[in-house]
Structure formats: C-alpha cells, structure tokens
Structure 1
C-alpha cells in the first residue's frame, strides 16, 4: 500500500491535531465544571441538565438527514472547484435549515406540557415554572444553532474540519470558564445556563460573518438553480436518511428520557458522569475517524475501489485497536475514576458499566463502516434498519427498565446496536468494494477474541495493581493496561499490511 503524503493525509493530520487540542481543553474544563456543579447545585439539577440535553438531542431528529445528504452532494463539486454548483447546494441547504430551526422550536414548545411527567421522579424540589424556563433556555440554544451550522458543511467538504473545531474550542473555553466563575459567585442554575446562552449567541453571529468573509460567494444573489436530477438526488438520499435518523435517535438519544420517566431523573445525572468520561476519551478516538470522513468522500470521488478498500481496512484496523484499548481501560478504571473525582455515592454497579462498555466497543466497530457508508452516499440500502433498531431499543429498554432497573436500559441499547454490526458491513462490501463480506466477519472474530483474552488478563492483573481506590494504584493500573494490551495487540496484528501502512505514514510525517 502506498502512503504518499498527499493532501488528504495532510488535512486529516491537521484535523486530528486540532481535534485533540480541542478535546484536551474542553475535557479539563468540563471535569472542573462538573465537580463545581455537584458542589454548588442540587443533584436533581444535574439530572435535569442531563435530561434536557437528551431531549434536545432527540429533537435533532427534525434535521432528518438533510445535512448528511447535502454534505455528500458537496464532495464532488468541492473536489472539482465547481463554485456555481456549490452556491446552488448551499442555497438549498440554507432554506432547509431555516425550516428545521422553526420546526425544532415549534416541536420543542409543544413538549413543554409533558415536562412534569418526565421530571416527576426525583425533581419534585424544583418549581414547575423553573423547570419550564430552564427548558426554554436549552431550546433557544438548540433552535438557533441551525441558522448557522449549515455553513460548516462547506468547510468540512474541503477537509478542513479543524476550522470548525477551533471555533467550537474557543467558544467552549470562554463559556465553561465563565460558567465556573458564575457558579462560584452565584450558585444559580439560571446564571449558569444564561452565561452559556450569551456566549453561544455571540459565537453564532461571529461564525456567520467569518464564513461569509471566507466564502464571499455565499452572499451572491445570482445563483444558478439546481437541476431536477440534482434536487431529486438530494431528496432521495434525505428520505432514506430520514429513516436512519429516526431509528438512530430512538436508539441513542432516548436513554436519558427513559431513565428519567421510568426510574429517576437523578440517575440521568449519575449516568451522565460516566458518559462524560467515556465521551471525553472517545472524542480522542473519534477525532481520528471524524477527521478522515471528508477524506473518505474525496477518496471515493477520485480513487479506485481497490484503493478505497485498502484504506477502509487501515481505518478499521485502527478503530479496533483504539476502541479495544480504551474499552479495556474503561471496564477496569471507569468506576474507580468516578469515585476518585466525585465520591462513592456517584458510582454504578459493575454490571451496568459492563453493558455501557460493550455498547461503546461495538459502536467503535461500527464507526468506520458507518463513516465510509456515509461518505459513499449509501443511504438507501439499509434505510429501515435504524428504525428497526430504534423500535427494538425502546421496547427492550422500557420493558427491562420496569422489570430490572437501570441495567435494562443498557441491555436494550446493546441488543439493538449489535444488529447493525452484522448488517451494515455487507452493504459496504457488496456495494462499495464488490467483495464478499466473509473476510470482514473473520477479521472481526480475530479482533474480538484477542480483545476478550486481553481483557480477562488485565482484570486478573488489576487485582494486584488496584488493591484499593487510590490515585497511585489507578495510575499504576492504567500503565499496566497500556503495556499489556498494546503488546498483545501488536504480537497478533503487528505484521499485517494495515499496521505497516500506519507505521509508514508516521515515519513519513516525522521525516517531514
């Protein structure tokens, strides 16, 4: 495999660097802010904060895949420098997202009467008026974001996601720092939320003006209409993505709502502490694959199927390595870390953590498949799959939440997620590579077997390196897992073409 230092690699490396910088800054501030939040505000407010975040994430369903369909449509004209076609797509994007912002606002307001039902367990100490006003602040932030976010699609299609990353990082740095100060001074949840609202509003105004200046043709009034074929392509992909979006929202964005409605709103805050750690670490991992997504789109538009297949295997290898490593670390160290950061009262049973980590690991396996499928525009083939997953998740999660509690919610998430681990690889191999999918499943078996064996070995060793929950033992166990996992992984897979390719890129970057 060739690892020439082309534009895709340069942009991917740049995206990864700024992505890591962003994750590190926001993670440190986030943990400090969460600690102060727990110290200064009631635990029920942490639950409400997590619940409303989940509701607004579910409301992103109204985007219905329009952004993904239009992003795909931009890859080719951007690669060809076709400004007129870019302008045409961006005007369509602008109109679509104005409608989406209005729909989010309308549906969000319509949900207000149902808030007492979702918060009646664990938030009885908060007046109904305050619960509504808190929610409206969340809703304003969410709805107005659609008025600007469409402009990022052009930056991402140019494989320059670091621009968006840097803007978000600076905004987060300012917002969280000010929120920390506000919590110390006022201990007011209102002040905490309004601080973020004003910072985000300033960011949206700045981003709109900055991107208009960077791409002045976005303000042109003389714009050629899209052809009927181009509009139909966007419409067809959007309809297919609609089903994917509905199912994905029902599967991944409803856990907080189910926990709040059927168990207790306070648990949404407890679980959110664990999710915050997982999301922080997974941000480091995801940065690599998200940074490569625009490169995938360019690769598919310009390279042969064999080149696409070779790169898919490389990114898949990297995903299995990184997600497997972090999953082992999470299973052994996540609960001790939460206890060290927030105290014993914020811990969860190890069985619950097991299913959270299984879902994290399986999601990692799906990441490259999903990213490649998105970049290739293969939305129609499995448009009903995500809807099926969403139904399975909601039914299993609600039934088991009622019967066995919190662990049931995550059993439902795992059961629904594993369906895609079997179905979507077939689509990629059949439609993108024209190859049989059998080799994918054989490789999966090898990766999973090595990962499971390494996990069991690390659990056994952790009995000696982590005799009690103290920072010194925590760090020692982290070092043990790092050495053991990576040595074993390289013993089994270090001689493969995929590792040689990654090694070649690293060496070429060092030399340059």
Structure 2
C-alpha cells in the first residue's frame, strides 16, 4: 500500500527544490542573454514562446486525460491495461508532434506578419522553426512522464527535468558568452529536450520492465468514452489559457516591436517564475489525489483535499 503522506511530501519537496534550481539557472541565463545579445533577440525568444503556446492547442488535453485514466489500473496493478493506455498515448503524441512540425512550418512562412515592419532580425523564420523542432520533440518522447506522475512518483520526472535543464542552461550560457550565437542557443534547446526525454524513457523501461509500450490489447469502450469526455472538457480550458497567456507577446511584437517585447519579457519572467513555483507544488500532488480518488473513501478524499488546499493557501500568502 502506497503511503500517500510520504508520496506527497517527497513529490512536493523535490518539485519545489527543482523549481528553485530551474529559476536560478533561468534568471542567470536571462542576465547573460541580455548582456550578450540585442533586445530584438530577447523579444524574438518571447514571441516564439507565445506562438508555441498557440500551437500547443493541437495537444487538446490528451496528456491530462491519459494520465487520469492511468490512476485506477495502476492502483489495481493492472499492468496490461496500463501498457495499452501508454501505447495509445505514444501513438497519439507521435501524431501531435508531426502536426506541430507541419503547423510550425506554415506559421514560419507568415512570421513577418507578427513583427512590426523594420524591427525584425536576420533569419528569424529559420530560428523559429528550430524552436518548433525543440517543442515537437517533447511530444515524440514524453509519454513516459505521465506514468511516473500517475504512479505518485512525480519526483523522478522533476529530477530528470531539472538535471537536464540545468546542464542545458550552463552550456547555453557558455555559448552566449563565447560566441553570441542565437542559432547555437536554439540547437542546445533541441539537444536538451531530446536528452531529457530519452533519459526519462530509459528510466521508465528500467523500472517498469513488464511494459512493452507496443501493446495489442484493446482499451475497454468505457475508458475510451471517458477519455473522449475528458479531452472535450480540457479543450475549453486550453482555449482560455491561450487567450489569456498566449497573445500578449504577439500584440507587443506586432505594434511595438521586438526590442520593447524584450524589455517586457524580462519583467514577465519574474512573475512567471513565481507562478510556476506555486504550480509545481500543486502539480507534485496530482498523482496522490488521483490515487486516493480511485482507492479511498469520500471522507479520505475530502480530508486530503482540504489539507492540501490549506497548504497551498499558506504557500501563496507567504
């Protein structure tokens, strides 16, 4: 029987520590970026990030829906069904990755529309597509992350991500200081993403050797129906996130230019960093909630919910 309290504490502590390390490395890299590259490049980086938020709509909330569907079979140790769900997840995310590559290619052709005339940078379309490739790779190889999250072991994923991100940021800082090359900076982003995903897949195959990741078992129709319902429910949430968080950089780049966007990005990084810290604390306990939801009583679910709600309120207030 999994100890929910232990899982909660371990996931939360590791997630908080990992996020603090990530924020420190990101702030350091941002300072170096500002000192070694022009404001236009910093603005372009912010613009690329916003455009990728829009393209991420292609994911449709499938990852969250699949993770939710894993809670019960993992609690019952029905590894055959787990294998079937992860196989489905791998195929769907492969299709999403190719879709994002295609949409990114089309969007790159129209990229000048999003930038104020006369305030762009050389080869911006090529640079944007490198950014697209780095994002698409995360969909091709990220399905193993949901397994650790659903199995109340989000700390494994957090350690993997922060380790690879830290190494990536250090090398990117060296590249910026020595060569001031934004293309090399983006290539390292691609390499870091690929390394993190390959390592988490290797870890999953080592710790879950009973999974083939290519199961031929059919998923029960009841689970398929629940997946469809959850995906449809997540679509409205994704639309809201894109509208609220995915358009500000576009408007600034279009009407004020990349240099103004670069200055704005510096301030936005501080707010986003604080928000992501709280978000990591909340995300770390999602797997615990899912496990209790399928194994515990209603009273246990309520107690766990209110305890964690109180903890989150204290974190936000502090």
Q: Same fold (TM over 0.5)?
A: yes
Question: Could you tell me which of 192, 197, 212 is aligned with 1:199?
Answer: 192
Corresponding residue of 2:172: 179
Deviations 1:135-193 (A, max 9, x none): 01100001111011111111100111111111111111111100111111111111222
1:59 corresponds to 2:55:
yes
> Residues 416-464 of structure 1, C-alpha deviation per residue, up to 9 Å, x if partnerless?
xxxxxxxxxxxxxxxxxxxxxxxxxxxxxxxxxxxxxxxxxxxxxxxxx
Partner of 2:76: 80
**Which structure is richer in relative contact order (CA contacts within 8 A, separation 6 or more)?**
2
Distance 2:200 2:308 in 1: 32
Within 5 Å, which residues of 2 pair with 1:92-111?
A: 92-111=88-107
Please report how far the alpha carbon of residue 43 of structure 1 lies from its aligned counterpart in structure 2 after TM superposition. Answer: 0.4
1:25 & 1:206 partners in 2: Cα distance?
19
Deviation at 1:202, TM superposition (A): 2.9
Report what 2:142 is aligned to. Answer: 149
**Cα distance change of structure 1 residues 254 and 220 upon mapping to structure 2, 3 Å threshold:** closer
1:96-245 → structure 2 map (5 Å cutoff)? 96-120=92-116, 123-124=119-120, 126-127=121-122, 130-219=123-212, 221=214, 223-245=216-238
- Residue 267 (structure 2) aligned to one of 248, 254, 274: 274
| In structure 2, C-alpha distance between the alignment counterparts of 1:206 and 1:316, rounded to whole Å | 33
Q: 1:92 to 1:184 in 2, by over 3 A?
A: same
Contact kept in structure 2, 1:122 and 1:265, CA below 8 Å = no
Q: CA deviation at 1:258?
A: 2.4
Looking at CA atoms only, which structure, 1 or 2, has the larger radius of gyration?
Answer: 1
Cα RMSD of the aligned pairs, angstroms, is 2.0
Measured against aligned partners, the alpha-carbon deviations of 1:87-129 in whole angstroms (never above 9, x if no partner) come to 11111111111111111111111111221111225733x12xx
| Native 8 Å contact 2:43 2:259 kept in 1 | yes
Distance change >3 Å, CA 184–CA 99, structure 1 → 2: same
Whether contact under 8 Å (2:137, 2:193) holds in the other structure is: no
The whole-number CA distance in structure 2 between the counterparts of 1:222 and 1:43 is 49
Give 3-state SS (helix, strand or coil) of 2:128's partner: helix
Inter-partner Cα distance in structure 2 for 1:270 and 1:195: 24
Deviating beyond 4 angstroms after TM superposition, the runs of 4 or more aligned structure 1 residues are: none
What is the aligned length? 318
For 1:208 and 1:296, the matched residues in 2 are separated by: 24
Change (3 A) 1:314 1:115: same
By how many angstroms is 1:281 displaced?
Answer: 2.8
Q: Which ranges of structure 1 fall in alignment gaps of 5 or more residues?
A: 1-5, 326-512
1:71 matched to 2:54? The reply is no
> Corresponding residue for 2:87?
91
> Contact 1:158–1:294 (CA<8 Å) still a contact in 2?
yes
TM-score calculated relative to the size of structure 2: 0.93
Q: Is the 8 A contact 2:71 2:290 kept in 1?
A: yes
Which residues of 2 match residues 263-342 of structure 1 at below 5 A?
263-325=256-318
Whether the aligned pair in 2 keeps the contact of 1:285 and 1:322 (CA below 8 Å) is: yes
CA contact (8 A) 2:116 2:255 kept: no
Using structure 1 for the length normalisation, give the TM-score. Answer: 0.59
Equivalent in 17, 21, 25 of residue 21 of structure 1:
17
Contact 1:102 1:143 in 2 (8 A): yes
SS of structure 1 residue aligned to 2:32: helix
Task: Measure how far apart 1:199 and its partner are.
Answer: 2.9
What are the ranges of 5 or more consecutive residues in structure 2 without an aligned counterpart?
none
